A and B are shown apart, each in its own frame.
Chain A
Amino acid sequence: SQTIHQWPATLVQPVGSPLSLECTVEGTSNPNLYWYRQAAGRGLQLLFYSVGIGQISSEVPQNLSASRPQDRQFILSSKKLLLSDSGFYLCAWSVPGPSGNTIYFGEGSWLTVV
């Protein structure tokens, strides 16, 4: 069966510091991969999605970036964090098929920028 791993689970970073969140999916090939952010009271916001290695689509302009160096690896980065980057970040995957594009989520990473 497919599993998704995301780390670190929690981190506290100072303003202006870099960020790297990593996500890997096991048990499937060529998945679509996603990064979402969940801010308090604001629901889930799609940040990036990827349909293949090196292919990244950005949904929201910001100081974050994403990369997909391997088929089942997705990385969320920032060179300089802002206070507004605080939130709960969720990696997700899907494999489109005849019954639709069902998205499955990882356990999330709590980021606090101080």
Chain B
Amino acid sequence: AQSVTQPDIHITVSEGASLELRCNYSYGATPYLFWYVQSPGQGLQLLLKYFSGDTLVQGIKGFEAEFKRSQSSFNLRKPSVHWSDAAEYFCAVSSGAGSYQLTFGKGTKLSVIP
């Protein structure tokens, strides 16, 4: 069975600082990987996804993520954080193109200090 671990429950960064949110997955084959963001009381918005090809994936809002098979990781990065990036971030893994099962990590809450 596939699983996702987000080791950091809560991260605080200063506005303008760089950000890296960690995600580790467990899956035997090549996974389909996603990052979502959730503002308080809102639904989840897709930031980016990886299916194949280039291991560095660009997303919306200036985010990027890098797939590292050797480390079973799909970390999310942003070079300069804005106050509006404060939210909860979820990493998710799917086992394939036809899979209905999207397994989520428990999320990392990001706080931004002005």
Interface residues of A (CB under 8 A from B): 6, 32, 34, 41-44, 46, 49, 51, 57, 59, 90, 96-108, 110
Contacts and interface: CB of A to CB of B under 8 A. Distances in A.
B94 A101 contact: yes
A43 B42 contact: no
B41 A43 contact: no
Given A102-B34, A102-B46, A108-B42, A49 B100 contact: yes
Contact of A105 (B32, B45, B49, B107): B45
B78 interface: no
Contacts of B32: 100-101
Q: How large is the interface on B (under 10, 10 to 19, 20 to 34, 35 or more residues)?
A: 20 to 34
A31 B34 CA distance: 19
Contacts of A110: 41
A79 to B, nearest CB: 26
22 contacts: A6-B43, A32-B100, A42-B106, A43-B106, A46-B102, A96-B97, A96-B98, A99-B51, A99-B97, A100-B32, A100-B49, A101-B32, A101-B94, A101-B96, A101-B98, A101-B102, A102-B34, A103-B34, A103-B102, A104-B46, A107-B42, A108-B42
B26 interface: no
Given A98-B97, A99-B97, A100-B49, A43 B43 contact: no
B18 to A, nearest CB: 26
Contacts of A32: 100
B99 interface: yes
Contacts of A106: 43
A89 to B, nearest CB: 10
A46 B105 contact: no
B113 interface: no
Given A46-B101, A90-B43, A105-B43, 13 more contacts: A6-B43, A32-B100, A34-B100, A42-B106, A43-B90, A44-B44, A98-B97, A101-B32, A101-B97, A101-B99, A103-B102, A106-B43, A108-B43
